[in-house]
């Protein structure tokens, strides 16, 4: 009996830690679920104006980019619906030349994944889904990474919110959906650090215990991978598993945004450099395993994206050179402390000052506010003895300097005689198209991580001195209040013209047949792309908003530019619009004349010679010409004179077969 009692007692003692571990794991899962739910609620509150009427409400302030991304999502969805992935070079836009989608912000992966939403509810609903997931998913990704590195739940939740709802992502939501969906960068950096510096301590060790261990020497050991538990993955060397994960994540990011993938890779390199600078001996010991993991990652990434990258750099429509002038889209130091009208806490004065930024609202990404900047400095001081704190502080400074571009822009005035580090880096062709101000996106993630480390570090520092610690997290949260965003402002999608779908049904065009639609789409007049996105018709359009090679292969928006014939047709179209037409806003946004009470002013400039018009039509070789205009308009009269009576007329849409 005594032996049985002893065995029972030993069994109960063994089961007690297991029960405690199971209970702790359940608590962690419930906490994560609550935090993610809060992020999602915050994202819905931020985008509620879009969700009030998701099929017809779009982000205001940048309609051309919103129309472009709607076109991308429809193109990807149509491809999947026909049983194949989207072609990387397509004549669905800019027929008959086409566009190379790898040189454009084509969000191929989100477009494929959102195919059911796009086909069932339309591309605008998919864009609203993408924006909402961009806020909540980005915050959740950093929260997950910080918890993996044993940051406390409260500090990790704050860090995730700072990143996911940062001004950089808020302003990217104004039509730059490829940048605003910043879910993968924290996961990529986490996988890269796991390869370069070893995995974080086992989950059983809290960040507090990890932080309070005795200070390590400069060449002390880096955290080694956890032993893991049973199963087939446990037999895979951790560094190879991390390489596989990094390769998959980087491949996915390349099909979301190549620019953000490059910015993320630079961030990971800078963080690893920060670790190596302060712990060179430990970094040298990790060099061998890290090289193996990076080799695995490179093989996986190239295996998945190799064909796409070959298409981009050695296929059709290859381009080179910077798309935008250097030192234009760069951060001004004043941007870091001047809130604009998109932040909830701003004044008329700060909004006016911010509105003068030369890059516009979509690129006003730097704002952090004085309270958070001071909190970050204190966090760096508190965490300086820890490798993570030093690396984050180092990376934040480096990324901030990179965001100033090659030459400083101070108070709106450029100083071309002062060279900054990015001046020499941007000379490389691969980096020529990176806009320096967009370093703010990844820098905000590093700042959020540093803040989270600082919260836990301050708690430990105060606890060691027997001081009260519960106010640390609320104090840090108060420092983040200036970052509170205003809900995204929504505008109305340009409505579909009456008779659009009926016209294309009546034309009976062959699949893939190119169509010249007037208004001819350009980078400043994109309503035709929106109509194509909403209906999937026509399959191929002349013109468009795209990045393509111009003369000599130099990258330009619109490639060789808008032809005089297309520009004249667009002017004729606008001249027939009454001022209260639902299409007038698009025409005015493109700088085209619009009548106040119908009739419209005459187009500026002389009409192109008929020979030039016929040569342009022969070059475009459209299967049909479709004009969205009234039968009595100047455009209709011009086309009837040129082509004869229309073959199809439905609503305000006229069409000629060719």
Percentage of residues in the chain with pLDDT exceeding 70?
Answer: 89
Give the pLDDT confidence of 138-169 residue by residue, as tens digits: 999 999 999 999 999 999 999 999 999 999 99
Q: 277, 394 in Cβ contact below 8 A? A: yes
Instruction: Name which of 89-103, 248-262, 408-422, 569-583 the model is least confident about.
Output: 569-583
Which tops the pLDDT comparison, 239 or 123? 123
Q: 253, 192 in Cβ contact below 8 A? A: no
CA atoms 582, 585, 586, 592: torsion sign: positive
pLDDT at 598 over 80: no
pLDDT at 214 over 70: no
Predicted local distance difference test score (pLDDT) of residue 585:
85
The per-residue DSSP string of 417-433 comes to TS--HHHHHTTSGGGTT
Give the pLDDT confidence of 46-94 residue by residue, as tens digits: 999 999 999 999 999 999 999 999 999 999 999 999 999 999 999 999 9
Which tops the pLDDT comparison, 591 or 494? 494
Report the pLDDT averaged over residues 418-435: 89
Q: 85, 79 in Cβ contact below 8 A? A: yes
Cα within 13 Å of Cα(371), Cβ side: 12
Give the pLDDT confidence of 635-656 residue by residue, as tens digits: 999 999 999 999 999 999 999 9
Return d(Cα 563, Cα 610) in angstroms, integer. Answer: 14
Predicted local distance difference test score (pLDDT) of residue 15:
56
Report the pLDDT averaged over residues 374-398: 94
Task: Output the average pLDDT for the chain.
Answer: 89
Report the pLDDT averaged over residues 379-395: 93
Percentage of residues in the chain with pLDDT exceeding 90?
Answer: 75
Residue 132 neighbours by CB distance under 10 Å: 22
Which tops the pLDDT comparison, 337 or 200? 337
* CB proximity list for 437: less than 8 A, separation 6 or greater: 329, 330, 331, 359, 363, 365, 366, 403, 405
**Highest mean pLDDT: which range of 196-200, 213-217, 387-391:** 387-391
Return d(Cα 166, Cα 448) in angstroms, integer. Answer: 9
Write down the pTM of the prediction: 0.91
Instruction: Name which of 37-46, 329-338, 604-613 the model is least confident about.
Output: 604-613
Predicted local distance difference test score (pLDDT) of residue 220:
36
Report the pLDDT averaged over residues 442-466: 92
Predicted local distance difference test score (pLDDT) of residue 200:
64
Phi-psi region of 650 (alpha: psi -120 to 50; beta: other; left: phi over 0): beta
Report the pLDDT averaged over residues 342-356: 96
Closest by alpha carbon to 172, among 317, 342, 385, 372? Answer: 342
Three-state DSSP class for residue 555:
strand
Instruction: Name which of 43-57, 273-287, 301-315 the model is least confident about.
Output: 273-287
At residue 216 the predicted structure's pLDDT band, cuts being 50, 70 and 90, is very low
Return d(Cα 175, Cα 491) in angstroms, integer. Answer: 12
Predicted local distance difference test score (pLDDT) of residue 228:
41
Closest by alpha carbon to 107, among 40, 16, 181, 204? Answer: 181
Return d(Cα 247, Cα 240) in angstroms, integer. Answer: 10
pLDDT at 223 over 90: no
Instruction: Name which of 243-247, 467-471, 602-606 the model is least confident about.
Output: 602-606
Predicted local distance difference test score (pLDDT) of residue 542:
97
Report the pLDDT averaged over residues 493-502: 96
The per-residue DSSP string of 190-256 comes to HHHHHHHH-PPPPTTS-HHHHHHSPPPPTTPPPPPPP---SSGGGGS-HHHHHHHHHHHHHHHHHTT
Three-state DSSP class for residue 10:
helix
């Amino acid at each position: 009996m005594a032996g049985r009692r002893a065995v029972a007692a030993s069994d109960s003692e063994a089961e007690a830690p297991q029960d405690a571990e199971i209970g702790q794991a359940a608590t962690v899962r419930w906490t994560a679920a609550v935090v993610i739910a809060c992020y999602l609620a915050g994202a819905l509150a931020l985008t509620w104006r879009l969700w009030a009427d998701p099929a017809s409400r779009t982000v205001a302030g940048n309609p051309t980019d919103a129309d472009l991304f709607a076109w991308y999502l429809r193109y990807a969805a149509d491809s999947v619906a026909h049983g194949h992935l989207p072609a990387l070079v397509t004549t669905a836009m800019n027929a008959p030349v086409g566009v190379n989608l790898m040189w454009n912000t084509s969000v191929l992966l989100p477009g494929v994944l959102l195919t059911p939403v796009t086909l069932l509810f339309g591309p605008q609903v998919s864009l609203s889904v993408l924006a909402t997931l961009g806020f909540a998913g980005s915050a959740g990704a950093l929260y997950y990474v910080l918890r993996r590195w044993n940051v406390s739940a409260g500090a990790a939740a704050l860090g995730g919110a700072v990143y996911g709802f940062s001004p950089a992502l808020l302003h990217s939501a104004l039509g730059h959906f490829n940048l605003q969906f910043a879910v993968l960068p924290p996961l990529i950096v986490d996988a890269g650090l796991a390869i370069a510096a070893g995995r974080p301590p086992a989950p059983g060790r809290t960040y507090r215990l990890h932080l309070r261990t005795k200070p390590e020497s400069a060449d002390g050991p880096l955290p080694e991978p956890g032993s893991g538990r049973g199963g087939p993955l446990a037999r895979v060397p951790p560094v190879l598993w991390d390489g596989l994960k990094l390769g998959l994540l980087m491949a996915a990011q390349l099909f979301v945004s190549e620019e953000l993938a490059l910015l993320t890779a630079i961030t990971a390199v800078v963080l690893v450099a920060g670790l190596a600078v302060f712990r060179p001996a430990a970094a040298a010991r990790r060099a061998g395993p890290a090289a193996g993991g990076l080799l695995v990652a490179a093989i996986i990434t190239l295996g998945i994206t190799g064909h796409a990258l070959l298409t981009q750099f050695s296929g059709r429509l290859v381009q080179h050179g910077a798309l935008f002038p250097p030192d234009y889209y760069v951060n001004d130091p004043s941007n870091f402390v001047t809130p604009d009208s998109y932040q909830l806490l701003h004044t008329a004065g700060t909004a006016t000052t911010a509105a003068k930024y030369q890059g516009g609202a979509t690129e006003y990404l730097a704002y952090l506010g004085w309270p958070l900047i001071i909190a970050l400095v204190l966090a760096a001081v508190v965490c300086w003895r820890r490798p993570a704190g030093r690396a984050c502080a180092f990376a934040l400074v480096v990324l901030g300097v990179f965001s100033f571009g090659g030459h400083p822009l101070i108070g709106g005035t450029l100083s071309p005689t002062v060279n900054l580090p990015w001046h020499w880096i941007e000379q490389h062709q691969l980096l020529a198209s990176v806009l320096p101000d967009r370093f703010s996106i990844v820098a905000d993630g590093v700042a959020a991580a540093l803040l989270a480390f600082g919260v836990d570090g301050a708690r430990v520092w105060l606890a060691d001195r027997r001081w009260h610690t519960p106010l640390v997290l609320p104090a840090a949260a108060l420092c983040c209040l200036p970052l509170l965003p205003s809900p995204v402002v929504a505008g109305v999608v340009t409505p579909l013209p009456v008779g659009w779908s009926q016209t294309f049904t009546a034309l009976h065009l062959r699949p893939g047949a190119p169509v010249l639609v007037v208004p001819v789409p350009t980078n400043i007049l994109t309503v035709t792309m929106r109509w194509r996105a909403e209906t999937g018709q026509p399959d191929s359009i002349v013109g468009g908003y795209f990045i393509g090679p111009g003369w000599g292969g130099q990258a330009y928006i619109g490639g060789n530019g808008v032809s005089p014939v297309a520009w004249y047709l667009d002017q004729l179209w606008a001249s027939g619009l009454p001022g209260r037409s639902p299409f007038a806003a698009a025409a005015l946004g493109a700088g085209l004349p619009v009548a106040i009470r119908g009739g419209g002013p005459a187009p500026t400039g002389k009409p192109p010679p008929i020979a030039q018009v016929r040569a342009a039509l022969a070059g475009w070789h459209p299967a049909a010409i479709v004009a969205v205009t009234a039968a009595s308009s100047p455009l209709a009269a011009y086309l009837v004179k040129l082509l004869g009576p229309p073959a199809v007329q439905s609503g305000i849409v006229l069409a000629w077969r060719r």
